[in-house]
Amino acid sequence: MPYADQMFNVLNEAFKNLYGFVPLTEKQIKHYVNLYFSMVNPKYVSFVVDKNNEVVGFGLGFLSLSKALIKAKGKLFPFGFIHILKDMKKNDTADLLLQAVKDEYKSKGVPAIFTPMMQAFIDNGVKPLYQVMY
């Protein structure tokens, strides 16, 4: 994912004023990218970039593993991993895990980052928890 490092820089900038937040170092960013991004489904990640191809906002989602972990009783072995593998492919629940937008873009429509991600969830059979009424 070409924007992974920039994603964490946006996270550091967007969360800097939150009480208790400690910015991630470059070493931590590299570690998290190497550790977790092999499991990320690119359909469930959305980036907004500016005219200089710099990330200004992002959203990261996953299919929920809650039901699979309940079925597996919290154990991977001997057979709990089967429930998890099945739910990683097909699931009707999603979790939005992380999102951030640079301060100067917060009132400029960047939260529309969720539109392609939501469409990917719908295409995968995830049911909406609510319906928007116009």
Q: Could you report the per-residue pLDDT of 86-128, keeping only the tens digit for each?
A: 777 777 888 778 888 888 888 777 666 777 888 888 888 887 6
The pTM assigned to this predicted structure is 0.75
The pLDDT of residue 23: 93
Specify the CATH architecture of the domain 4-63+93-123. Answer: 3-Layer(aba) Sandwich (3.40)
Residue type, 91: N
Output the pLDDT for position 22: 93
| Residue 69: per-residue pLDDT | 79
Q: Give CA–CA dist 42/21, Å, rounded.
A: 27
Integer Cα distance of 134 and 113 in angstroms: 21
The CB density around residue 57, as the number of other CB atoms within 10 Å, is 25
**Which three-class secondary structure string do you get for 11-53?**
HHHHHCCCCCCCCCCHHHHHHHHHHHCCCCCHHHEEEEECCCC
Average pLDDT over residues 64-70: 78
- CB-CB neighbours of 16 under 10 Å: 11
Strands 55-63 and 45-49: antiparallel
Is pLDDT at 132 greater than 60 in this prediction? no
Distance separating alpha carbons of residues 68 and 48, to the nearest angstrom: 32
4-15 vs 26-36: helix axis angle to the nearest 10?
130
Span 8-49, pLDDT tens digits: 999 999 999 889 999 999 999 899 888 887 778 888 888 888
